[in-house]
Amino acid sequence: WAAMAVCTERAEGLELARLLLRGSSDHDILFALDLLVMTVCKGRNAKGALELARVLISKGAGSNHEAQDTSALYWAARAVYLGRSDGLELTRLLVEAGADVNFVDHEDMSSLFWAARMVHEGRSGGLELAKLFIGKGADVNLQNTENGMTALQIAA
């Protein structure tokens, strides 16, 4: 799905993505959403990333697809953590689309843990993310298996 990465970097990318999606399998569409959010997280120029994410979700890209022990929400939360533009809006979009806010990634972090880490480090967006995740049912008592800490302990 290198073509989808190109779609995020070009002004005409949204229209190209729509054309590519017409003949795509469900499997390709699932990976395309992960790739799109990963592209934003890695700081690449992602023109129209929000609109492309909306198109992918409307085509059936589930926000709970897990690729290599991560998810689109994992990458979106990381994008906010790294201060990427569109990260917060992508996170909101994924959560509203039903992303599992209690998914634990390969680093043993839930989305709420990422928000708590941001609060602890004084990064902008952390409190807003925490409110979003808790409002959607994030487990505030979930413990990190590595050190047994909860999000509240991480934020402190």
Find the mean pLDDT for residues 108-121. 91
User: How many other CB atoms sit within 10 Å of the CB of residue 109?
Assistant: 20
Nearest to 126 by CA among 85, 95, 94, 155: 155
pLDDT digits (tens, 9 = 90+) for 48-106: 777 778 877 887 766 555 555 678 888 888 889 988 878 899 899 999 988 889 988 87
Question: In DSSP terms, which residues pair with 71 in a beta bridge?
Answer: 66
Give the DSSP per-residue string, 58-107. HTT--TT-EETTEEHHHHHHHHHHTT-TTHHHHHHHHHHTT--TT---TT
The DSSP secondary-structure symbol of 11 reads: T
For 17, the domain range is 2-155
pLDDT for res 37 = 73
User: How many other CB atoms sit within 10 Å of the CB of residue 46?
Assistant: 26
User: How many other CB atoms sit within 10 Å of the CB of residue 39?
Assistant: 23
Q: How far apart are CA 62 and CA 58, in angstroms?
A: 9
Confidence of residue 123 (pLDDT cuts 50, 70, 90): very high
pLDDT for res 76 = 87
Overall size of the chain counted in residues: 156
Q: Decide if pLDDT at 1 tops 50.
A: no
Q: How many folded domains does the chain comprise? A: 1
Give the domain CATH number at 41.
1.25.40.20
C-alpha to C-alpha distances, 6 to 9, 26, 47, 100, 109, nearest whole angstrom:
5, 20, 10, 28, 30
pTM of the model: 0.78
Confidence of residue 113 (pLDDT cuts 50, 70, 90): very high
pLDDT for res 44 = 62
pLDDT for res 54 = 82
Tokens of 148: 């047994």
C-alpha to C-alpha distances, 10 to 52, 94, 109, nearest whole angstrom:
12, 23, 33
Out of 27-36, 84-93, 142-151, which region has the weakest mean confidence (pLDDT)? 27-36
Confidence of residue 119 (pLDDT cuts 50, 70, 90): very high
